[in-house]
Structures are given as C-alpha cells and as structure tokens.
Structure 1
C-alpha cells in the first residue's frame, strides 16, 4: 500500500526534473557537453537519485543528453551532420505547415502572425536582437499551430527540443545582416499564405530554413566536417 502511494509522488518528481532539465538544455542554460551529476541534481531538486536517473533516461530518448556507462551523463553535442539532418526535417515540417495554413483562410493565427511581424519590424528597427529572437520562435510556433494538425505539431515539438532551438536562433542571428534577412523572409512567407499560394509558401519556407541552417553552421565551432 505504501509503495502504491509513493508512485504518483515519484512520478511527479520525475516529471518535474524532466521538465526543468529539458528547459535548461533547450534554453542553453546548461551548455553542450556539460556533465550532469545524478547526486548533484538529486540534492538540488530534493529527491532521491531514482527519479533523477529515470528523468535523464527520458532526456536521452529525446536526444538531449548522452549517458555513457561508467563515465557519466552529458548534454548532447550535436554534430554538423546531426544539425543538418534536423534542419532538413524542420524544413519539411514547416513547409508542410505553411501549405496547410494557406488552405485554411483567415484563421486566428493569421492575426497573430501579422502582429508578430509588426513587433519584429520594430525590434529590427531598434536593433533589439534579444526580442527579435523571441519573436522568431513565436513566428514559427504560430505557423505550426496554424496548420491545425496535431500529429505534425507533436513531431515538430520533439524536433525543436532536439535542436535546442532557442540557442541556435541566437547563433543564427549573430551572423552579419541575418536579422534583416530573416525578417524579410518571414514577411514573404506570410504574404504567400495570405494569397493562399501553398506551393510557393512551402518552397519559400524551406529556403528560409536552409538559410537559417547555413547561418547556424557558420556560427558554431566544429572539429571537422562530420564532427
């Protein structure tokens, strides 16, 4: 009976550790390659090592951490190949999303996208890269939400976690003139959606993701072409 009572508690502890650590990794608060100590995390969260261990296993399945037997657990360092592959999938999913959104007409997400672009233009004008980075993430999230396809959105969320996308957005926007270029590309995508030109919107969206990938790869240090 006591064990049964403990299960929900342990489960909630594990969920809390997963959510917190996932957020830290995605936001870049814990950098790529950083070691993660079960003991230190258990002390920080005030739990036993068991929920921490299970949480790290879950994060490994999501591609966020790497567990090396008899060595330790580390935040995953994506290789150039992995980033390229993940961005290829991002382009496919977001391309499909804008095609679906273009078919839907004047839905609520369109108004939110228009507001997003007005705020983004203002952020570009005042050279507020931090705010613009937030709006970039919101723009892409709205496109996917506007597709109104729960399966697409579920795959997209997992992919964004594996990419640690907020950190990569900042890397991309650090490249010269990338902020201005990104803003123009976002406007072009929305124009095509409003014209209900799903084919062109999908093509432009994929090109936008390719441009982002090039900027990210140019801004990240790698040991070699496939490292």
Structure 2
C-alpha cells in the first residue's frame, strides 16, 4: 500500500508544480491572452506526462485562468468587460477592508516597508519609469493586504488577483495620460490615512483609488481596441 500512496503523492506534487508554473506564466503575460494550451506541447515543455498537465489545466480552469472550449481546445482565459468590472468591484471591497484593518493595527512593521515602497515609487515617477512603478504598485497593494493580518481576506485576494492577471493590466492602466502621477498621489493619501490610524478614511480613499484605476484600465483597453480597428 505504501508504494501506490507514494506514487500518488509524487503525481500530486508534479501537478502542483506544473500548475504554479503555468499560473505564473499566465499572470505575467509570458503566455499571452487567448494562447492555445496544448497538452502535448506542454507535456514536452515541462518534461512530464500529459496526466499532470491535464490536472493542472483543470485547476487553472477552476481559478478562472484557463478556458476550455469543448471540441475546440484549451486557451488562456481573457475576462470579459463584465467580468473585469465584477473583479474590480471585489478588489475595491477587499483592498478597502484591508486598508481599514491595517490602520487599526497601529505601528506595525508593514508601515516602514510601505513608506520605503512610496519613496521608491516617487523616484520611479520622477524618472518616468513606468515598468518599475508598476512593480511597486503591486507591492504596495500586497503589503496593505498582508498588513491587514486577516488570512481569509488575503486568500480571497490572491485568487482574485490571479484571475485579473494584474501584472498585465496595471501597465494598461498606467499608460493613460497623467495616470502615473495620479496613482502615486493616491497611494500617498492612502498611506497617510493608515499612518494616522484613520480606518474609515483609509478604506474610503483606497476604494476610490481602485475605482479610478479601473476607469483608467477600461479607457486604455478601449483605446487599444480602437487602434486595432484602424
């Protein structure tokens, strides 16, 4: 009985590793939206059988990262406008709650890290380094969520951010004229309210910031689609 159990555990480990690598490839954009995901090609890429590939794709389908079209194929999922709106509504709720909880915690280590993040972000904005700033945006939001010290909230947030593939989207949002400076200013306001232990204010301003980011994103998407039609 021990050998079959060990084999199952090994298969589960391989599946989890494949799923995590595919997840990161989708989130970062290494696998482009709408890309075809062939079990055979992925099996060769990862050097494993098709079984863990198939199971990993099933897991990513549950997470909303992969779309399976019967008799057509498996593809990197692309959220619809409605789905993006719904995901950003959830992002607003979760990040607003996180900012509120962090403000109530007082002087915790995450605040020093957030302040260092803001200094680096200011430098990136001054240098016009959008890629650097985009990475710091993700770190800023991650720090607020982890600083809320609520495991359930953080777990839901991680799943949400995977579905959004936020690493790709944030650059589209920041491509809008003036958005880089505006985003940095909004972060300063959020952090200032957290440091002041103003939970109500921190939640309100964080939610406003997420709404403005969503508006910039949708405008950027519309602009790119318009360019494709020209």
* TM-score normalised by structure 2 residue count: 0.94
Equivalent in the alignment of 1:83:
84
Equivalent in the alignment of 1:106:
107
Q: Detail structure 1 runs of 4+ shifted over 4 Å in the superposition.
A: none
Alignment of 1:1-227 (within 5 A): 2-221=3-222
1:11 Cα offset (Å): 1.2
Q: Please, what is the CA RMSD of the aligned residues? A: 1.2
CA distance in 2, matches of 1:166, 1:109: 22
1:3 Cα offset (Å): 3.2
1:6 Cα offset (Å): 1.8
CA distance in 1, matches of 2:219, 2:15: 37
1:2 Cα offset (Å): 4.4
Contiguous gaps of at least 5 residues in structure 2: none
Contiguous gaps of at least 5 residues in structure 1: none
1:107 Cα offset (Å): 0.3
1:194 Cα offset (Å): 1.2
Aligned residues: 223
* TM-score normalised by structure 1 residue count: 0.95
